Amino acid sequence: MESVGWEGSGAGLSAEEMAIAFRRLREHMPGRTLTAKGPKDQPDPFRSMVSCLLSAQSRDINTAAAAKALFARAATPQAMLALSEETIAATIKPCGLYNTKARNIRKLCDVLVHQLGGRVPETREGLMQIPGIGRKCADIVLSFSFDRPIIAVDTHVHRVANRLGLTNAKTADETADQLAGHAPEWAQRDGHFWLIQFGKAVCVARRPKCGGCFLSDLCRFYAARRSLP
């Protein structure tokens, strides 16, 4: 298993170092572009939420294929409820865990239609009351679809934040809480974009490109690696 954090007993980044790190990320990464849409390029909160649910333990290309096929059949919670669980499962099969996801999609739509008037909640607490929606999906929908200043934490953000020393957390939820509490306020809106883009381009999972990294002088993971005999 890959190490997502730095090793040793030293402290993480100070508030000043954290601000420097985010300023550099802002300078080097594209951030939130004008064409940014919801998760997997979906145009509305409902499809963003369902796409996020589909993405669990699925490669992006498979999630995109499953979402495209599903939304071609039904693009609203009302239309989705007209489909059987078996039909949904067969349609989203490329993304894996399709039986469980189909069941949760039906439950999700039932709650939206019969309890929430067809509207996607605009709070984390409200979103997390919906079947199949956890903290990560809730924050992603809030950030992408409702433009809230929240650093949503996926696999890439969790890895990068803990490697750098922005956080020192074992779970994605702990990482999200620490970023919410300690990242500069001005970095909260676009922080997710900078960190995920950095994680895909530089701080990749298995072979991070530490040698040419613009954050190596701050990075606790890099410092720990250099100190090894």
Q: How far apart are CA 159 and CA 35, in angstroms?
A: 26
Q: Mean pLDDT, to the nearest integer, of 193-203? A: 94
Told to judge if 190 belongs to the known catalytic residues of this protein, a careful annotator would answer no
Residues 6+ apart with CB under 8 A from 165: 6, 11, 12, 13, 17, 218, 219, 220, 221
Q: pLDDT band for 3, please (50, 70, 90 cuts).
A: very low
Residues comprising the binding site? Answer: 203, 210, 213, 219
Does 85 score more than 80 pLDDT?
yes
C-alpha angle with apex 105: 104 to 106, nearest 5 degrees? 90
Residues comprising the binding site for [4Fe-4S] cluster? Answer: 203, 210, 213, 219
Q: Please report the pLDDT score of residue 54 as a whole number.
A: 93
- Give the architecture (CATH level 2) of 39-146: Orthogonal Bundle (1.10)
Instruction: Please tell me which residue in 40, 101, 136, 190 is annotated as part of the active site.
Output: 136
- Where in the chain are the domains? 15-33+150-226, 39-146
Q: Please report the pLDDT score of residue 227 as a whole number.
A: 77
Does 202 score more than 50 pLDDT?
yes
Instruction: Please tell me which residue in 154, 170, 190, 200 is annotated as part of the active site.
Output: 154
C-alpha angle with apex 187: 124 to 14, nearest 5 degrees? 110
Q: pLDDT band for 23, please (50, 70, 90 cuts).
A: very high
Can you say how many angstroms the Cα of residue 118 is from the centroid of all Cα atoms in its chain? 24
As given in the structure block, the two tokens for residue 42 are: 């979906």
Does 8 score more than 50 pLDDT?
no
Residues 6+ apart with CB under 8 A from 58: 66, 95, 96, 97
Q: Please report the pLDDT score of residue 200 as a whole number.
A: 92
Return the higher-pLDDT residue of 73 and 42.
73
Told to judge if 154 belongs to the known catalytic residues of this protein, a careful annotator would answer yes
Q: Please report the pLDDT score of residue 6 as a whole number.
A: 42
Q: Which residue has the tokens 């929606």?
A: 133
As given in the structure block, the two tokens for residue 19 are: 């601000």
pLDDT tens profile 157-197? 999 999 999 999 999 999 999 999 999 999 999 999 999 99
Its pTM stands at 0.83
Contact 10, 168 (CB under 8 A): no
Fold adopted by 15-33+150-226: Endonuclease Iii, domain 2 (1.10.1670)
Cα→Cα distances 71→74, 91, 136, 187, Å = 5, 10, 22, 33
- Whether 15-33+150-226 shares its CATH topology with 39-146 is answered no
Residue 132 falls in which region: left (phi positive, over 0), alpha (psi -120 to 50) or beta:
left
Q: Please report the pLDDT score of residue 10 as a whole number.
A: 45
Reduced to 3 DSSP states, what percent helix, strand and coil does the chain have, rounded to the nearest 5?
A: 60, 0, 40
Contact 44, 38 (CB under 8 A): yes
